[in-house]
Chain A
Amino acid sequence: MLSFIIRRFLYMIPLLFIISIFAFTIVKLQPSDIVAQWKFNPSIGRDLLESLIRQFDLDKDPVTQYITWLRNIFTKGDLGFSFFNKVPVEDYLFGGGALLYSMVIILATMLFTWLIAIPIGIYSATHKYSFNDHFLNFMGFLGLSIPVFLLAIVFLQVMVSILRVGSWCDIDWLRPLVTFFRPPCVEISPGVFSCEGGILCLSKAERLAQGYYSAPEGLAVGGLFANEYALAPWSWAKFRNFLWHLWPVVIIVGTANIAALIRYMRANLLDVLGQPYVQTARAKGLSERVVIYKHAVRNAINPLVSMLGFWIPFMFEGMLVASAVMNLQTVEVNYFNALSTQDQWVIMGGLLYFGVILVVGNLISDILLAVVDPKIRYD
């Protein structure tokens, strides 16, 4: 088993190497000479530019530049320098908790998709050709057919103008929800409120009586935190606020995955249910519940695990789009912003990041499959 993991790990290296060549070549394909442009740009200091040119061999030929870039990554973990933001690439891409948020969102999405999709897939397969099966099948197709950006926009639209989450303070039974996700202001002395990240979530009558005419800003959509919490240190209140901003992202990124997973789960389970050993289990007189959950479902899930290497990059694609639309503070949005400023090292670093995600996703799925499916040979 260990040798299997090591071998798969070694297999990653040439692939990552080729991805790095791709990343470098693509960025070098741009028609304009970035260094020449920055030489005439007063926003970057002469000395800094000189030292960068020396450090990354920018005055040498592309091959030397590529080798220097790789060497810096391996020896110092240095991905380069963001010209536009004047910080090292790794700080720009992963800094400010971006990497953490990306991983949290992906994990939450994965958990969510599997928790929703597997039971639905089982239901669909065990009730095949029923009305509900057809309905779920159609919903699955629909989920696969909505581009992530469109889903994000529609979701924002529904939250803002139909559910009106911004004005929930004025609705009595929704007020506890607002005060849970955005803690209310503390009344330090009569009529004086201290609002650190909180809001003055009073009922409409109270509000008018106290002389606050404009409605308080209730729950917001987009971003990962309300403005007040963006720079605040982690606290229970900030975490609760994070949860409020997390769930739409999870649904938006997860929908296409859920749709695809349901279809795979249904097909796999139907496949397994047709196997002779399931017939045998039924013939033995086992209850239907045992047949399905103990004999069939376990075997039907294995192929899904092997597709994890496909799901992970797929989710990151969805998150790239969702982050751009909803302005989440993730690695993906940093990459996207670097694209518009044509920040070459950030683009290279970002491509490498996505490459690593992809390769690691494949590795994880291979290892997991070897763990769950004893039929897989390691050698």
Chain B
Amino acid sequence: MTETGSKAQTEQVTGGVRGAEPVSQGRLIWRRFKHHRMGLFGSIVVILFYLIFVGFAEFIAPYHYNQEHRDFGYIPPMITRIRFWDKDGNFSFKPFVYGLAQAQVYLNTETGEQTTKPPEGDPRYFRQPGIFWWEEDTSRKCYVEFFVRGEEYRFWDLWKTDLHLFGVREAGAGPMGKAELAASPCQLFLFGTNKLGYDIFSMTLIGGKISLAIGPLVIALAFILGILLGGISGYYGGGVDTFIQRVIEVFMALPRLALLLALAVILSQYKLSGMAVFWGIVFILIIVSWAPLARVVRGQFLALREAEFVTAARAIGVSDLRVILKHILPNTTSYLVVAATLTIPNIIILESTLSFLRLGIRDPLTSWGVLMQAGWSTQVIQNYPWFLIPGIFIVLAVLAFNFMGDALRDAVDPFTVTGAKEELA
């Protein structure tokens, strides 16, 4: 009896249309979201980035990010030097790079031309002491191997290991010790190295960890504050609401970046080290970013507080806290997720700006902003443009988040979607 009853009910709800199942809010959002191609693409990039940079950065990095290789300074990116065919045209399934060789630079004083191979006995060419170029030593083949032992690191800061996803080994060479590996001309610096031979690829991976982790972390903590204050404000209304609204207004009216820089300077005077710096930065980022989120929460609570289901919950004597957390909050989730996704790129930009200006993340930690410091002088970027590679990842991450947030907003709230409006036009 109950079965037929529920069936009839379903039919009633769906208006008796055959094949139409009742669809949850989540499914509706997903349906709209998946039609947004750029948004979908953005979300895939975001997920990939978090897997690569936050999940397995140390493992993927072929070197320890904070390890110098003084013999290999200023090596240009080798990512374009990975080959399948050798100089004789022989194909190998295993990709390889040639060994690194330092070549003395000669200057033609008449034309200003620089070369490593001056014509024999030409008096116009002068040796440039101390200036070397990196060339490929075609006599050495270094094959890319997977799951190799290399420099030691702490995986997720939990256990020590020296297993790396990939690395290069010289063809025909036997097993090598740590010191031999470090001195071998067989090296794989995908994005090149800086002055002291730090591997920029590894630094980019580890730097991304902090740059990407800080966004969701700040948002999550700011939301706790925002839900608390915005929730109380929207739920109770009246004098409390007015007061909290004024506080939010004041925080929104503060000069964001100038304040952030001042706070960072004060923070830097507290002689913090290691992860304490990271948490300090998280804290000051929360100070400048919680207010708009609290306002979103308040708006949602204000709208839902008069809803029938809230009145019903109150009527059966549910406590305020339970109403807020169990009845109102779940209904605002989609809006909060959108607000979060649209705020995260701002946090990423703020963090990298702060770190770039030497007021944020500090050694021994690193982030994309820290890595960009090397590009501050034109002298450097003129000669070593590959120092700017980490910047590409900042832009990619922010772009992906922006696309994702845009699509989510359209999916969650179909009535403010430009597309829906345009259909009316």
Q: Chain A interface (Cβ within 8 Å of chain B)?
A: 15, 18-19, 22-23, 26-27, 29-32, 128, 138, 141-142, 144-150, 153-154, 156-157, 160-161, 221-222, 266-267, 270-271, 273-274, 313, 316-317, 320-321, 324-325, 335-336, 339-340, 342, 347, 350-351, 354-355, 357-359, 362
A-B contact pairs, 6 of them (CB 8 A): A27-B266, A147-B394, A150-B394, A153-B388, A271-B421, A358-B255
Contacts of B245 in A (CB 8 A): none
The answer to whether residues A355 and B262 also contact, given A15-B250, A222-B378, A270-B422 and a CB cut-off of 8 A, is no
Task: Tell me, rounded to whole Å, the shortest Cβ–Cβ distance linking B411 to chain A.
Answer: 17
Partner of B265, one of A266, A339, A357: A339
7 closest Cβ contacts across the A-B interface? A354-B255, A274-B425, A145-B398, A145-B399, A354-B258, A317-B257, A157-B381
Q: Is B118 an interface residue (CB 8 A)?
A: no
Cβ–Cβ contact A22 & B254, under 8 A = yes
Q: Is B259 an interface residue (CB 8 A)?
A: yes
Contacts of B146 in A (CB 8 A): none
Q: Is B225 an interface residue (CB 8 A)?
A: no
Contacts of B234 in A (CB 8 A): none
Q: Is B375 an interface residue (CB 8 A)?
A: yes
The answer to whether residues A317 and B349 also contact, given A153-B391, A156-B381, A339-B265 and a CB cut-off of 8 A, is no
CA of A131 to CA of B273, assembled, Å: 51
CA of A310 to CA of B358, assembled, Å: 27
Q: Is B345 an interface residue (CB 8 A)?
A: yes
Partner of A342, one of B263, B269, B357, B375: B269
Contacts A270-B422, A313-B256 known; 12 new A-B pairs at CB < 8 A: A128-B422, A141-B403, A146-B395, A148-B353, A156-B378, A317-B258, A320-B257, A320-B258, A321-B353, A325-B376, A350-B262, A351-B259
Cβ–Cβ contact B263 & A26, under 8 A = yes
Task: Tell me, rounded to whole Å, the shortest Cβ–Cβ distance linking B283 to chain A.
Answer: 12
CA of A340 to CA of B266, assembled, Å: 10
Which of A26, A153, A313, A355 has its CB near the most chain B CB atoms (within 10 A)?
A: A153
CA of A271 to CA of B395, assembled, Å: 30
Contacts of B353 in A (CB 8 A): 147-149, 321
Cβ–Cβ contact A29 & B266, under 8 A = yes
The answer to whether residues A27 and B262 also contact, given A145-B345, A148-B353, A221-B378 and a CB cut-off of 8 A, is yes
Cβ–Cβ contact A336 & B357, under 8 A = yes
Cβ–Cβ contact A321 & B257, under 8 A = yes
CA of A138 to CA of B37, assembled, Å: 12
Partner of A273, one of B259, B378, B425: B425
- B 257-294 binary contact with A (CB < 8 Å = 1; else 0): 11101110110011000000000000000000000000
Cβ–Cβ contact A324 & B402, under 8 A = no
Task: Tell me, rounded to whole Å, the shortest Cβ–Cβ distance linking B281 to chain A.
Answer: 15
Cβ–Cβ contact B269 & A30, under 8 A = yes
Residue of B nearest to A278 (CB): B425
Cβ–Cβ contact A339 & B421, under 8 A = no
Contacts of B259 in A (CB 8 A): 22, 26, 351, 354
